[in-house]
Structure 1
Amino acid sequence: MSSEPRHALFHMPEPLFAELAPGGGSVEALAFLERGERARRLLLLRTLLGRLHGLRTPLAPPAEAWRTLKEAALHAPEAVDRLLLAPSTGGWIAHMLRRVHGTASGPELWVEAGHLCSLAVTASLYAGTGTDLLVPLTDGALCLPGLGMARLPDAGPGVTVGRACVECGELTLTAPAEHPGPRPLTVRPHTAPARAPRTPSPAPAASAPDDSALDDSVPEESGRFWLPLRTLAAFADAGPGTVLLDDLDPYRGLDDPLPPARLDHAEAEAWQELFERAVALTGPPQGAVPGRLDPAAIRAVVPWGRTRAPATAPPTVQVSATSGDSYAAMLIARPSSPVALAETLVHEFQHSKLAALLHLFPLLDDDREERYYAPWRADPRHLTGLLHGAYAFTGVAGFWRDLTADPEHAGTAAYHFALRRLQCRLVVRTLLASGRLTASGHALVTGLARVLDGWLREPVDPPALARARTAAVLHRTEWRLRNVAPTPHGTHPDAPATGAPDDPRLRPDRAPWPDVRTYAFATPSPAPCGADEHLAAGDPAAALERYADELASDPAEPHALAGWIVARSLLDPGRATRRMLARPELVQPLPSPPTP
């Protein structure tokens, strides 16, 4: 590993780009993306080291930490490359570059710059080399990326300086000689990995020595000096997993550092069980076919929102996100449904692939103006967001397409496949018509269009197809009612930026709103009651009547008005109705009943 640039251009072979463009990607294609990410991180590290030169710090200087990393790389290049490619390493580099450019804030710069010392110590542990570095401790704890967290016994709160000595894979962590106090800690982190537990751990004996706290077989409340990162195994009988369940690293999030949020035994066990069931639903990668996922390609799952297992987790994923700086990592709030987790894994990994492609190629010239309709969002999006959505949801559509062959999920899968292929094709049309795609971007979006056009010709169960089409129109109609201002009186509707379908004039009072229909329409109610339920069941007349009742008290309520417009269009699909669907924001609200 070297911080010096190698003067050789990256050239992606056309067959690999042809696999990635429509949303797929073989093992070879993903390996190429990782090579690109490695080169990018080395360049960014070189820039960061230059900006940190001369930084006043009580820790080992950045140059000394970098020399330790390079020495470790000579002895264990693959292990150190894995550390360099760790998602949290990318997150730290990006955060530090924002710090030195003044676009992010935090503690004194030396504190966060000292994470390079943590990386150097970890690299020495992997390589079996020796080092002796002054490192930053937070509440007495040292994060070892990819391994876990070591905490000095009896350490005080806040940021302090510790000494980390590594010899033959063994770490000794002490307070500096000039600041005696906490007892030293010795541990062999690289040989003490921990998988997510499967069975309750035995309680330790009351007279157990301190070393018992370093063993993950001890309950979490006792393991307060050494907390190894857990890994998720893809299959019940597999060996040690390769997917980190990262609840400790400060740079595991999307931007600012996060405190450790250790999962308890039951929550970690729930993650393991759910992950195994989820990845069993994702087919193996197959060239250019979108929606397939090898779980080994995921580098980290970051649990979000809770550390203790609730009585019942929500069935769907409430929060998920991916950072372009943290390739192959995904932040997820655990659901109870393995199908929901599998869909999210596919979705977020698509974002990682596209982010890596954007690091290699300029795919579009984006003015960053948020004015475009995205069928999976409540707010207008810019072109880059639109491209990310199209790429991610094409993968999701492929996931549901594969699942239509599973009898247990065929009905729901048919609906989601029909919905996502239709929505993605609409967005792909917008991208192709934008005039802002580069040659590479045009090739990628054309690849998406080719796959989607083929999928749109595939037969789908008619009731599921009808619900999907209705749900798609409902979302667009409500989106325009909530986000698009009506054209001012006397202005031609096709004049620029006045609210025309492809160039809307946005409302200044727009606000977030919940999309409650996309998943509600997946399974129609056998005994419909509300307006939405009647519409999902294929009874627009009953739905229209109930929407009118709802609008009687609030004639401009967007959810009910969107339903009323769509139900009426299904009953009377003429030219006037098509105009109403194209520009629903121009529809006059139903008159309120007279006040008695």
Structure 2
Amino acid sequence: MTFALSGRAGHGHDPIRVEHPLGKPTPGWQAPRALPLDLPDGPRTVAMHELGPYRMQTGADGTPADLVPEESIHRWTDLLHNAWSLLSRVDPGGAEDVSACLRSIEPLPAARPFRWHSATMEDGMGGMAASEPTGTEPAAPAQFAAVLTHEAQHSKLSALLHMYSLHTPDAAHRFYAPWRDDPRPLRGMLHGVYAFTGVARFWRGHLLNGCAPEDEALVAFEYALRRGQLLRVLPTLLPDARLTALGRRLVSRLLETVGEWQDEPVRLDCLEAAQWALEDHWLSWRSHHLVPDTGLVTDLAQEWCTGPSDPATEAAWHYPQPQLLPDPAARHLDARAVLVRMRLTRTTAAQLRTTTNLRQLVLGARPADVHLLDGDLPTAERMYAEEIRTQGGSAAESGTAWVGLARALQGCPGREGAARALTRYPELVRHVYASIKAKSGAAPDPIAVADWLGRTLVAL
């Protein structure tokens, strides 16, 4: 399409007259819509990026997605206003960044509770995509304020990366990211730690500057979780030889900032829930992406099936460091963390109690997870074990089932060996179990296999 000075646009043989300003519709011209935003330095607008062929979301047949209905525009306006008001009150620095960066929002399909989707493009400074609001999202202003901060951080770092090198070329996916299902390359990790430092700063400001009593538990959990995630991975990035001097300085400053928050008090129950969720994600991640030595797996499975050559002198096995092999089937490793959030909010807690389709409400969740979080450990243990026996250890979600079993067994008398194996090397238990089933043609008791490994293995 070409524009002429006369205000006419031509596409083939069908000219279209475009009036000035461009926000005025004419026949054949769909004026872009905008969301109003009141800022301290005066009102401005954020464009609703719903036109054109470059939207991330398309129709089922690959055609451009439909325009946003008028009622959705009203919801977008209310959400942006409420999120901005909250952000400017509790995190003025983050609000200033959003004000400087945000120019347009592209709507994505509505998300499930506590799973907002958002994105920016490195070459599209000022634009972001985000889940379309439905008006029923829990803690929507706070959740969307965190999304705005997250994407503004990405935009800032993208601009920096266009000007400076923060690392030498590196495309290997080898880092653990506590907010992702998959291993990440160094560039992705830098984006992640920079974005989530901003997110943690927002939740910290929300907690310290006052939040409604009914929101305190969720806000405290979010802050403790993001702080814990950053403190887990930032120290592992700092010594990486692929960082340039500027990249190392960036990581060092982030670690310094988050380190200053480390000892700030957080409600004990929320802190413990965040630590539980952090460990749960790590165990699920390694269960999927770490692979033990195949020879060791084969030998252990053989010994289980046939017994040691000399039962009287059974020796301990040594477990060498497993290898990283990304598992493309790993999905929804944060499902139990989402369930924790839902239990902290009154409306979503009620949804959990009444839903008849948990897996649709929280992708990756299972009824055993609800029993686990309710403290009904015997029922959770039985359900996880039955699922593992049925799936055999090779199905896409079995890694998180094994970790759920580990959490159910922790602290249970008589289960110490199984809990030890599943919390130290869940990937080995999973692979040995699958090998045993393949060799014997029968599904043994997963707890018995885990207990045996926990008693006979010595981790190096």
Q: With the length of structure 2 as denominator, give the TM-score of the two structures.
A: 0.71
Local SS of the residue matching 1:433: coil
Give distance in 1, aligned partners of 2:97 and 2:379. 43
Q: State the 1:566 CA deviation.
A: 2.9
Aligned to 1:248: 51
1:532 is the counterpart of 2:369: yes
For 1:486, which of 269, 273, 292 is the aligned residue?
292
2:166 is the counterpart of 1:354: no
Q: Is the 8 A contact 1:565 1:581 kept in 2?
A: yes
- Give the 5 Å matches for 1:36-51: none
Q: Does the Cα contact within 8 Å between 2:34 and 2:48 map onto a contact in 1?
A: yes
- 2:267 corresponds to which of 458, 461, 475: 461
Give ranges in structure 1 of 5+ residues lacking alignment: 1-135, 137-161, 194-213, 216-222, 307-312
2:334 is the counterpart of 1:519: no
| Counterpart residue number, 1:551 | 388
Measure the CA separation in 1 of the matches of 2:336 and 2:95: 23
Alpha-carbon distance, 1:352 to partner:
0.8
What pairs up with 1:360-399 in 2 under 5 angstroms? 360-399=163-202
- Paired AA for residue 153 in structure 2: Q
Alignment partner, residue 4 of structure 2: 165
In structure 2, list runs of 5 or more residues that go unmatched.
135-139, 298-316, 344-348, 354-365, 435-442, 447-460
Matched, 1:188 2:20: yes
Native 8 Å contact 1:292 1:398 kept in 2: no
> Matched residues in 1 for 2:295 and 2:271: separation?
38
The letter of the residue matching 1:517 is: R
Q: Per the alignment, do residues 440 and 173 of structure 1 end up closer, same or farther by CA in structure 2, a change over 3 Å counting?
A: closer
Q: Summarize the Cα distance change of 1:580–1:314 in structure 2 as closer, same or farther, 3 Å threshold.
A: closer
Distance 2:74 2:100 in 1: 19
- Return closer, same or farther for 1:391/1:415 CA change in 2, 3 Å cut-off: same
SS of 1:395's partner is: helix
Post-superposition shift, 1:392?
Answer: 1.1
1:413 Cα offset (Å): 1.0
Q: Partner amino acid for 2:256?
A: R
2:70 is matched with 265
Report the CA distance between 1:330 and its aligned residue: 0.6
The structure-2 alpha-carbon separation of the partners of 1:554 and 1:461, relative to structure 1 and needing over 3 Å to count, comes to same
Compute the displacement of 1:541 (Å): 6.0
Cα pair distance change 1:480/1:174, threshold 3 Å:
closer
**Alpha-carbon distance in structure 2 between the residues aligned to 1:233 and 1:184:** 28
Q: In structure 2, the residue corresponding to 1:378 is in which secondary structure?
A: coil
Aligned to 1:406: 211
- 2:444 aligns with 592
SS in 2 for 1:459: coil
SS in structure 2 at match of 1:442: helix
Deviation at 1:316, TM superposition (A): 4.2
- Given that 1:284 and 1:294 are in contact with CA atoms closer than 8 Å, whether structure 2 keeps it comes out as no
Pairs within 5 Å for 1:130-529: 136=1, 164-166=3-5, 171-173=7-9, 182=14, 185=17, 187-190=19-22, 193=23, 214-215=24-25, 224-235=27-38, 241-251=44-54, 259=64, 261-283=66-88, 293-295=97-99, 297-305=101-109, 314-336=112-134, 337-404=140-207, 405-407=210-212, 408-489=214-295, 499=322, 504-506=323-325, 510-515=328-333, 516-524=335-343
Measured in 1, the distance between the counterparts of 2:185 and 2:69 equals 40
Within a 5 Å distance, the mapping from 1:75-94 to structure 2 comes to none
Q: Give the C-alpha shift of residue 298 in structure 1.
A: 0.8
> Given residue 164 of structure 2, which amino acid in structure 1 is its aligned partner?
F
Checking the alignment, whether the CA contact within 8 Å between 2:177 and 2:183 is kept in structure 1 is: yes
For 1:228 and 1:388, locate their aligned partners in 2 and report how far apart those are by CA, in whole Å: 34
Q: Is the 8 A contact 1:371 1:381 kept in 2?
A: yes
More helix by share: 2
Task: Please give the alpha-carbon distance, in whole angstroms, between the structure 1 residues aligned to 2:16 and 2:401.
Answer: 65
Look up the equivalent residue of 2:340 and give its one-letter code: F
Q: CA deviation at 1:535?
A: 3.5
Q: Secondary structure at the match of 1:344?
A: helix
Q: Secondary structure at the match of 2:87?
A: coil
Q: Give the counterpart letter for 1:331 in structure 2.
A: A
Letter in 2 for 1:513: R
What is the identity percentage for the equivalent residue pairs of Structure 1 and Structure 2? 32
Q: CA deviation at 1:411?
A: 1.0
In the alignment, the residues of structure 2 paired with residue 267 and residue 363 of structure 1 have an alpha-carbon distance, to the nearest angstrom, of 40
Please tell me the root mean square deviation across aligned C-alpha atoms, in Å: 3.7
Distance apart, 1:552 and its partner CA: 4.1
**SS class of match (1:522):** helix
Q: Which amino acid aligns with 1:551?
A: I
Match of 1:55 in 2: none
C-alpha change, 1:582 and 1:393, in structure 2 (3 Å) is: farther
Q: Based on CA coordinates, which of the two structures has the bigger radius of gyration? A: 1
CA pair 570-296 structure 1, distance change in 2 beyond 3 A? farther
The answer as to whether partners of 2:109 and 2:131 remain within 8 angstroms in 1 is: yes
* C-alpha spacing 1:482/1:553, structure 2 compared with 1 (3 Å): same
Structure 2 CA distance for partners of 1:545 and 1:283, relative to 1, 3 Å: farther
Give the alignment's TM-score, normalised by structure 1.
0.56
**Aligned-partner residue type, residue 225 of structure 1:** G
Q: In 1, Cα distance between the equivalents of 2:120 and 2:16?
A: 37
Partners in 2 of 1:377 and 1:467 — Cα distance?
A: 19
Partners of 1:334 and 1:270 lie apart in 2 by 9
Task: Please report how far the alpha carbon of residue 393 of structure 1 lies from its aligned counterpart in structure 2 after TM superposition.
Answer: 1.4
Pair 1:352–1:283, CA change in 2 (3 A): same
Q: Distance in 2 between matches of 1:561 and 1:184?
A: 61
Preserved contact between residue 98 and residue 149 of structure 2 (Cα < 8 Å): no
Q: Which secondary structure does the structure 2 equivalent of 1:330 belong to?
A: strand
Secondary structure of 1:189's match? Answer: coil
State the SS of the aligned residue for 2:230: helix
- Report how far residue 324 of structure 1 moved: 0.8
